[in-house]
């Protein structure tokens, strides 16, 4: 059984790396963000609570996040282990989590702030069909026009340099104490996330002596 925590700022490819690892090693990928989105889409009580909080521009409270994660982990469909993303968020949660779940390691994807800016500010969204584009990695054929529906592409409202700078600062403030706690237990793999996706994946596996990715079909 393998249990990992993955940490990384927006644009670091955290979701992609978690999925690559989870799919291949049969780990359950537990993403707090995805759990919240599912609840919002399905109009659950939790979804309504999340929606209200986000509408006021605040983060969902630690207690709510903790309750959601506890619930998700008691479902226990993770026979081979899990990789969790979006938790823990506070020093207290980190201590509790490490004691309760015997975590194998913490993957910390490192991306310089300038690169975060470059990647996130290159994101575009079709205003008509919602398809994602990225002016670095997946450009539309015609500038500012959706390949699929011809709709106009636009940046998300909160993907502007000022709002992003605030999010980057918040991220560092929130994660620094967590990384310090994890480092005391000496099992943090800090990986350079500027490298190509598969190289980052290989670096993670090498660090934890995991088997290399099985070749595709
Ligand atoms: Zn479109």
51 is catalytic: no
- What pLDDT was estimated at residue 208? 93
- β-sheet bridge partners, residue 82: 3, 28
Distance 125 CA to ligand 1 centre (A): 8
- What pLDDT was estimated at residue 93? 87
- d(CA 52, CA 58) in angstroms, rounded, equals 9
Distance 156 CA to ligand 1 centre (A): 14
Are 200 and 191 contacting, i.e. CB atoms less than 8 angstroms apart? yes
123 is catalytic: yes
- β-sheet bridge partners, residue 131: none
Distance 153 CA to ligand 1 centre (A): 8
3-state DSSP assignment of residue 153? strand
Distance 150 CA to ligand 1 centre (A): 6
- d(CA 83, CA 103) in angstroms, rounded, equals 10
167 is catalytic: yes
**Alpha-helical segments (H) within the chain:** 14-25, 32-41, 45-55, 62-75, 91-101, 113-121, 161-184, 197-207
Q: Which of 3, 123, 124, 205 is catalytic?
A: 123
Q: Walk along the chain (217 residues) and give the pLDDT tens digit of each residue.
A: 899 999 999 899 999 999 999 999 999 999 988 888 888 899 999 899 888 887 776 778 888 888 888 888 888 778 889 999 988 888 888 888 888 888 999 999 999 999 999 999 999 999 999 899 989 888 999 999 999 999 999 998 888 999 899 989 989 998 989 999 998 877 899 999 999 999 999 999 999 999 998 776 5
Q: Which of 14, 72, 124, 205 is catalytic?
A: 14
Q: Which of 2, 19, 118, 167 is catalytic?
A: 167
37 is catalytic: no
Are 187 and 6 contacting, i.e. CB atoms less than 8 angstroms apart? no
Q: Which of 89, 119, 124, 205 is catalytic?
A: 89
CA 211 to chain CA mean position, Å: 23
- d(CA 86, CA 67) in angstroms, rounded, equals 13
Distance 187 CA to ligand 1 centre (A): 43
- What pLDDT was estimated at residue 216? 62
- What pLDDT was estimated at residue 119? 92
Distance 141 CA to ligand 1 centre (A): 12
Token pair belonging to 208: 């934890």
176 is catalytic: no
- What pLDDT was estimated at residue 199? 96
Q: How many helices (H) and strands (E) does the chain have?
A: 8, 8
């Amino acid at each position: 059984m393998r249990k990992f925590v993955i940490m990384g700022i927006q644009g670091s490819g955290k979701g992609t790396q978690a999925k690559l690892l989870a799919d291949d090693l049969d780990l359950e990928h537990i993403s707090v963000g995805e759990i919240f989105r599912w609840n919002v889409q399905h109009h659950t009580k939790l979804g309504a609570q999340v929606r209200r909080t986000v509408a006021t521009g605040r983060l969902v409270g630690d207690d709510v996040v903790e309750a959601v994660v506890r619930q998700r982990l008691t479902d226990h469909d993770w026979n081979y282990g899990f990789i969790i993303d979006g938790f823990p968020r506070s020093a207290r949660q980190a201590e509790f989590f490490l004691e309760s779940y015997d975590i194998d390691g913490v993957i910390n994807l490192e991306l310089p702030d300038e690169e975060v800016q470059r990647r996130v500010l290159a994101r575009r969204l079709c205003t008509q069909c919602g398809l994602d584009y990225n002016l670095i990695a997946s450009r539309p054929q015609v500038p500012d026009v959706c390949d699929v529906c011809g709709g106009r592409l636009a940046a998300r409202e909160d993907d502007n340099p000022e709002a992003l700078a605030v999010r980057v600062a918040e991220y560092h403030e929130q994660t620094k104490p967590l990384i310090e706690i994890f480092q005391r237990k000496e099992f943090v793999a800090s990986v350079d996330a500027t490298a190509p996706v598969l190289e980052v994946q290989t670096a993670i596996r090498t660090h934890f002596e995991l088997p290399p990715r099985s070749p595709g079909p």
